[in-house]
Structure 1
Amino acid sequence: MIMHKRKTKFSVFVLLFFVYSVSNVFALGINFIERASFNEDKSGIFSIKVDLTQTGRLVSIIKYLNKDYGDIAKFIDHDHLCVIKERFKKIPDINEVRVKYNKEMLTFTIKFKFKNIQALNKAMRKINKGIDPPKITYFSLSDELFVREDINGIAKKLILYQKNDNCLVKSLDLASFFKGTTYTTVYTFHKKIERFSHPLGELTTNKKTIQIKHHIFADNETEESIGNRIHFEKIT
């Protein structure tokens, strides 16, 4: 029995060393895509998609080396997603909540409609509970200005989570392990955008949609956030 325990511990050590080594060869990461469409009355549709495809390639290798390794898909089980769905349904002025999970592609999406900006902020506080201040205003929208607030920045949030998490995550070099991680925001409005504050912002041809693709752990982007101030063209 003692020999078995030692063998298990050694296997885990080798496995972790392999994971760390491979993560520096393959640009591993998680891709987050946040989309929102805002109507003139400040209602709209919001979704956030989490894409684990890049991580899935590494998991396949680990499973090949260690047959006892559990499937990553089990950590995102259907029951847990149903709980998330029910929590969002309880928020006033949030409706048509949908949770979509693609087990083969390792992606899941939460999508819902909101009747006003206040409801959207409440939903975002649920998503980021324990990470951001409880009363943070993520979105504000007026006739002239849209603001997306991001206090700490994604990289700083992950590092903060690492410091407070009592598990193996503490020992990881997040910048190396998740160097391929991106957070993309895509916002569409009913009127044209005149200017915006974020240096990575890109407008569509009709100037009504803006996209920011933030490479969280890129050397020149770690201090960036997804926060943005968007000014609309004045209608004369």
Structure 2
Amino acid sequence: MRNIRMAISYDGTTYHGFQTQPIGNTVQDVLEHAIGVLTGEKADITASGRTDAGVHARRQYFNFYTSSPIPVDRWALALNSRLPDDIVVLQADEMPSQFHSSYSAKRKTYRYGIDTSKFGDVFERKYRLHYPMPLLLEEMKEAIAHVRGTHDFSSFASKRSTKTTHVRTILDARIEASDGKLDIFITGNGFLYNMVRIIVGTLLWVGEGKLTAADFKRILEARERSAAGPTAMAHGLMLWEVEYEE
């Protein structure tokens, strides 16, 4: 059996997340169906991680095992002809049998996009949260610096989290601003359910002056979800990159 890895982009607007679930209409469902049509096999894909309903991916990875003889350089073209316009295969590689898209990943980067212009950019409305108010950018940058390093992120995890530990390591966290747009990038070795969206929601309170950077640090140390701000809307979040040691 061959172990095929693929990199994909998708617009998550109309999907109920990446991972298969009873209500259907997920990115995984669409991909597995397309692979099944192409190969005649029942596909069972493993992704680098799940994204929630409405969340997008600039570069997500998954792998699956197949006995199909399709050359690796033909997979992307063959699958894209069987996929809807909002899912695109970017590349395909044949990996060692032990490769696992999730367990083999070394780090992931998420980007949360915010549009602070008065009326909003019509062409980015599905990918950025429209937040038309002045924000204290330097205070937000000071606040986000506190998430770097290894911490218990219970304050920024959904109450629905099922993980046995909320300790994660954030390798980089930064805010880039340009022409009424804010991009919040967070890179880590793993993330909790709604973690990035809760961090962003709390950062926006800092930006409004409802909290200070010191308050943000105290919220992190409280290890209690009720101490943090709201969960930012899903459509501003994008899985930006997943990195492996090749």
| TM-score relative to the length of structure 1 | 0.26
Q: Which has the larger radius of gyration?
A: 1
